[in-house]
């Protein structure tokens, strides 16, 4: 349905973390969470799905943190190779910061809102909108102080929302 397990991952890897009954208790809820996780057994360092990411929004501490976030968003959208000249700067004393990058050769600069160690999710929504293409969009599912981000075709998100009672929300700046 648009979310595929990575080639080096199997259903057995999902069942290693939770039994089948746990996945069936609230259909799709646990499964959607697990898709943003790493496999919890050897070989280590394997993601379940490349189109899903558990984004902890309390993650800003230094220069380079927004660079890492934007790189991950570009990975999710399949546009990593179009992203270049990615830089950020954070000044916690002055409460100022900026993010800049080129996407497909077009330069973009954003002023960042500094909120202690919380990410500026509004600016990141603008970045997500720049990365979206071909009727694919970023969607999120609440995960406490984090959000599970999905990059999906609109039709797939609509089908998942039918199955999950509207668990996915389109991420937009407006």
Cα–Cα distance, 121 to 108 (Å, whole number): 17
The per-residue pLDDT string of the chain (174 residues; one tens digit each, 9 = 90 and over) reads 678 999 999 999 999 999 999 998 876 889 999 999 999 999 999 999 999 999 999 999 999 999 999 999 999 999 999 999 999 999 999 999 999 999 999 999 999 999 999 999 999 999 999 999 999 999 999 999 999 999 999 999 999 999 899 999 999 997
Q: In what order do the strands lie in the sheet with 52-56?
A: 52-56, 146-153, 136-143, 169-170
DSSP 94-153: TTEEEEEEEETTEEEEEE---BTTB--HHHHHHHHHHH-BTTEEEEEEEETTEEEEEEEE
Task: Name 171's Cβ contacts closer than 8 Å, sequence gap at least 6.
Answer: 125, 128, 137, 138, 139, 140, 149
Axis-axis angle for helices 65-77, 121-131 (nearest 10)? 30
Record the pTM. 0.91
Cα–Cα distance, 92 to 156 (Å, whole number): 40
């Amino acid at each position: 349905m648009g979310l595929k397990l990575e080639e080096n991952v199997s259903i057995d890897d999902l069942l290693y973390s939770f039994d089948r009954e746990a996945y069936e208790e609230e259909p799709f809820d646990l499964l959607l969470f697990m898709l943003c996780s790493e496999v919890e057994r050897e070989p280590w360092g394997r993601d379940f799905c490349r189109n899903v990411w558990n984004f902890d929004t309390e993650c800003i501490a230094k220069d380079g943190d927004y660079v890492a976030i934007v790189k991950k968003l570009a990975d999710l959208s399949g546009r990593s190779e179009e992203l270049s000249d990615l830089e950020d700067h954070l000044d916690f004393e002055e409460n100022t910061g900026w993010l800049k990058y080129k996407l497909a050769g077009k330069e973009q600069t954003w002023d960042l809102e500094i909120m202690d160690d919380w990410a500026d999710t509004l600016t990141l929504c603008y970045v997500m909108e720049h990365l979206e293409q071909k009727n694919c969009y970023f969607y999120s599912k609440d995960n406490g102080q984090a959000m599970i981000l999905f990059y999906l075709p609109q039709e797939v998100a609509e089908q998942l929302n039918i199955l999950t009672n509207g668990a996915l929300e389109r991420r937009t700046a407006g």
